[in-house]
Amino acid sequence: MAKKLIYLVRHGDIGQGKDKCYIGQLDIPLSELGKKQASLLKEIFSRVPLDNIYCSDIGRVQQTADLIASAHQIVPMARVELRELYMGDWEGKPFSEIRTNYPKEFKERGADIVNYRPPLGESFSDCYKRVIPVFESLAKSDEPTILIVGHAGVNRVILCHVLGIPLENVFRFEQSYGCVNLICKEGFEYRLKYLNYTVNRDLSSMGL
C-alpha cells in the first residue's frame, strides 16, 4: 500500500507583543525572526524530496512557502480555503480588550469553542467545513510527499481530523511559529509522526 507523507508547517513569527491580538485573516507580514525561521525551514526542507507545496493565500504564509520553495523547482499553490479562522469584528483587537469590553461574548466562546462565531466571523466548525475538503483532496493526490504551509488554527483543525478527535480539543495542540508536523497516510488511515517540532538545528532527530 502506497504511503504518502504530508508535512504541515505553521508560518514564521509575526512579532506580536505581550498583549496578543486576534489576527485571523489580517495580512500581517513576517517579522525579522519569522524570516529567519522561514529561512531555516528552507534549509531543512531542501533535503526533502517535495512533490508540491500548498499554502494559504495570506501574505505571511506565502512568504514562508516561497522561501521554502526557493530550494526546489516548485511554485507554491495558494488555496483560499486554507486561510486562518476569520475573527470578524474581533480581528486585530487584543484578547484583553475583548475580555474586558465583551465579557459575555468572550465567556460564550470559551464555553463553546467549536460553534461560537464572533460577530461577522467564523466558528471552528465553519473553518473545518472549508479546510477539510481541501485537505482531503490534497491527501488523495498522487503526489507522494507534499508540504502544506498554514496557520495555527487551520493546522489544529487538520490535526483533530487526522487523529479522529472532536474539535473541542482544538487547543490541546501547540502550534508554534515555524513548527513542523508530519502526517503519514496509508490507505484510508492517518498517523501523526511528529507534532510541533520547532525550527531549530535539533530537527536532525526527525531525520531531516
Burial class (CB in 10 A: 0-12, 13-18, 19+), 207: exposed
All domains in the chain, ordered by first residue: 3-19+29-87+122-206 (3.40.50.1240)
pLDDT in tens, 25-57: 999 999 999 999 999 999 999 999 999 999 999
Determine the Cα angle at 145 with ends 159 and 199, to 5°: 60
Q: Look up the pTM and report it.
A: 0.93
pLDDT in tens, 124-135: 999 999 999 999
In this prediction, residue 107 carries a pLDDT of 95
CB atoms within 10 A of CB 90: 22
pLDDT in tens, 56-114: 999 999 999 999 999 998 999 999 999 999 999 999 999 999 999 999 999 999 999 99
pLDDT band at 200 (very low <50, low <70, confident <90, very high): low
DSSP string, 113-148: TTT---TT---HHHHHHHHHHHHHHHHTSS-SEEEE
